Amino acid sequence: MFGNRGLTSILSGKCNGRSIHDHLMNGRITIRGTDENNEPFQRIVMIKNGEVWDNKLQHDGKSVHHIVYGAFESKRGEKGREIVHFKKGSGTGRHGKARRHEKIFGMKGVCHSWYKNGRLVRQKFIYDNKKTAYDYNAFRKTCTIRDNAGKILYEITGVLNGRMNAYFGGHSVFHKSMTDWFCDAHPFVVKKNGVIIYAGQIKNQQRVGKWVENGKIFFYERGVAIPKKLYETPPDKLDPLKILPLSNAQLRMALMAKITPERIAEIGTVIHKNREMCLYDIPKYEVRILRVQCPTTKSYYFLKVPKDSQKCEQARQWTFHVGVDFEKPIKFAVET
């Protein structure tokens, strides 16, 4: 008689061999009876705008299976209520669609979202006066956002950050602040009145390339803002001897990444090597340089260590205060 979705009519009975269907647009149906095991059950179905909004099966007054539009499907297991994942094992995968009443830019409406494998593939927002705010399609990657009078607010290009959206039951992506609208790894642009007000790209959780924020232009190298002149200088024109003395380790890392870390070999000699770590001696320098790799971003950092350092691990342990505050080499339970 009905499935999980799409109950729009109920069979009222038969008359002269013909079925009679009553179309139900809004309302609630309660069915009480016994199942194939002769156990009493009750099913309560709520319908809104011709679609099943809430479908609950109860045994002895307790919910044993529950589907709500725009939320996970749940059932009662041995340990109580369990979420039935749409993609077994991952816990995040989810196909389907969600609908949510909410406000964007101070105007009320309904947000429709379509998901595939937990990713937002389409989102459409319709204001209460039936005007469309936007219709975003992940394959097109561009959309125009309008107000409820039809005036263009923003024109955007980029991949919207809808991954976490599935957990929150179909919130509009534009419900969040502008900095959270887009996904990592893809360049994005936001235009207002034809002028770019926000643009950039994030890779490995770090800002990269040219950014526009509040109309101002910034240049980033591995998350570090650097002057335009430095950003535009070709890597072969940058001198590692001028980069290594810089006091900021992040800036050193960013600029060495720009000129490729191997360039250090041109100015120094390798004293010791241990997997990704490398200890360099540079003539006329009062210190030695230890190349280490960040376990999270995989970026190479160049740390200054004492001139008498002979081994990579010994030099690394020195940076952890071993020999002063700690007696033995440190083993980290967690390094990020």
Partner 1 sequence: MIIYEKAYRQGEILIFKVKKLPASYAYNARPIPNGVIREGEKEGHEHKVEGGSAQLSLFGDGETGTLKVDKATTITHPEHNSINLPKGEYVVKVQKEATGKHSHSSVKD
Q: Which is nearer to partner 1, 167 or 326 (CB)?
A: 326
DSSP structural state of residue 247 = S
**Which of 61, 44, 60 minimizes the C-alpha distance to 52?**
44
Binding of residue 197 to partner 1 (CB under 8 A) = no
Q: Which is nearer to partner 1, 144 or 206 (CB)?
A: 206
Binding of residue 320 to partner 1 (CB under 8 A) = yes
Q: Which is nearer to partner 1, 231 or 318 (CB)?
A: 318
Binding of residue 214 to partner 1 (CB under 8 A) = no
**Which of 84, 225, 265, 270 is close enough to bind partner 1 by CB under 8 A?**
225
**Which of 130, 205, 232, 298 is close enough to bind partner 1 by CB under 8 A?**
205
98-123 b/e (C-beta count within 10 Å ≥ 16 → b):
bbbeeebbebebbbbbbbeebbbbbb
Binding range to partner 1, per CB under 8 A, among 56-64, 96-104, 142-150, 284-292: 284-292
* Cα–Cα distance measured from residue 312 to residue 319, given in angstroms and rounded to the nearest whole number: 11
**Which of 238, 287, 293, 311 is close enough to bind partner 1 by CB under 8 A?**
287
Binding of residue 310 to partner 1 (CB under 8 A) = no
* Cα–Cα distance measured from residue 144 to residue 200, given in angstroms and rounded to the nearest whole number: 18
Binding of residue 25 to partner 1 (CB under 8 A) = no
Residue 52: burial class (beta carbons within 10 Å; 0-12, 13-18, 19+): buried
Binding of residue 195 to partner 1 (CB under 8 A) = no
Write down the least CB distance from residue 169 to partner 1, Å. Answer: 23
Binding of residue 250 to partner 1 (CB under 8 A) = yes
Write down the least CB distance from residue 103 to partner 1, Å. Answer: 28
Binding range to partner 1, per CB under 8 A, among 16-24, 48-56, 97-105, 290-298: 290-298
**Which of 40, 91, 307, 310 is close enough to bind partner 1 by CB under 8 A?**
307
**Which of 129, 137, 142, 248 is close enough to bind partner 1 by CB under 8 A?**
248
Binding of residue 92 to partner 1 (CB under 8 A) = no
Residue-by-residue DSSP string for 107-168: EEEEEEEEEETTEEEEEEEEETTS-EEEEEETTT-EEEEE-TTS-EEEEEES-B--TGGGGG
Binding of residue 321 to partner 1 (CB under 8 A) = yes
Binding of residue 333 to partner 1 (CB under 8 A) = yes
Residue 162: burial class (beta carbons within 10 Å; 0-12, 13-18, 19+): buried
Binding of residue 334 to partner 1 (CB under 8 A) = yes
Checking 78-84 for CB contacts under 8 A at 24+ apart, the result is none
DSSP structural state of residue 49 = T
> To 10 degrees, the CA torsion angle through 12, 15, 21, 24?
-40
* Cα–Cα distance measured from residue 239 to residue 226, given in angstroms and rounded to the nearest whole number: 16
Binding of residue 217 to partner 1 (CB under 8 A) = no
DSSP structural state of residue 322 = B
Binding site for partner 1 (CB under 8 A): 204-207, 223-225, 247-251, 286-288, 294, 296-297, 303-307, 318-321, 325-327, 330-336
